[in-house]
Amino acid sequence: MKSFFSMNSPLYNLLSKLTDILILSLLWLVCSLPIVTIGAATTAVYYVNMKLVKDEEDYIVKSFLKAFYENLKQGTIVWLLFLAFGVVLGTNYYQLFYKAEEVKLFFQGVTILATVLYVFSFIYAFPLLARYNNSVGRILLNSIAISIRYFFRTLIIIILIAALLFLGFYSTTTLFFVIVLGIGIVTFIVSAYVLKIFEQLEQLKGEWEDEHSNEASLKVQDFNE
| 3-state SS track over 77-139 | HHHHHHHHHHHHHHHHHHHHCCCCHHHHHHHHHHHHHHHHHHHHHHHHHHHHHHHCCCCHHHH
Q: Using the 8-state DSSP alphabet, how is residue 59 labeled?
A: -
Question: Nearest-5° angle of CA 107, CA 111, CA 116?
Answer: 150
Q: Are 99 and 107 in contact (CB under 8 A)?
A: yes
Distances 83 to 89, 110, 115, 153, 221 between C-alpha atoms, Å: 10, 19, 13, 24, 53
CA–CA dist 79, 141 (Å, integer): 15
Least confident piece of the model among 32-36, 75-79, 218-222 = 218-222
Supply the pLDDT for residue 196. 92
Least confident piece of the model among 7-16, 130-139, 152-161 = 7-16
- Convert the pLDDT of each residue in 189-217 to its tens digit: 999 999 999 999 888 876 655 555 554 43
Question: Nearest-5° angle of CA 144, CA 161, CA 35?
Answer: 75
H or E stretch covering 11: helix 10-31
Q: Using the 8-state DSSP alphabet, how is residue 171 labeled?
A: S
- Convert the pLDDT of each residue in 91-123 to its tens digit: 888 777 766 566 667 777 888 899 999 999 999
Sort residue 61 into left (φ over 0), alpha (ψ -120 to 50) or beta.
alpha
Query: Does the CA dihedral 146-149-150-154 come out positive or negative?
Result: positive
Distances 186 to 113, 170, 204, 214 between C-alpha atoms, Å: 24, 17, 27, 42
Residue 158: closest CA among 115, 100, 201, 220: 115
Supply the pLDDT for residue 216. 40
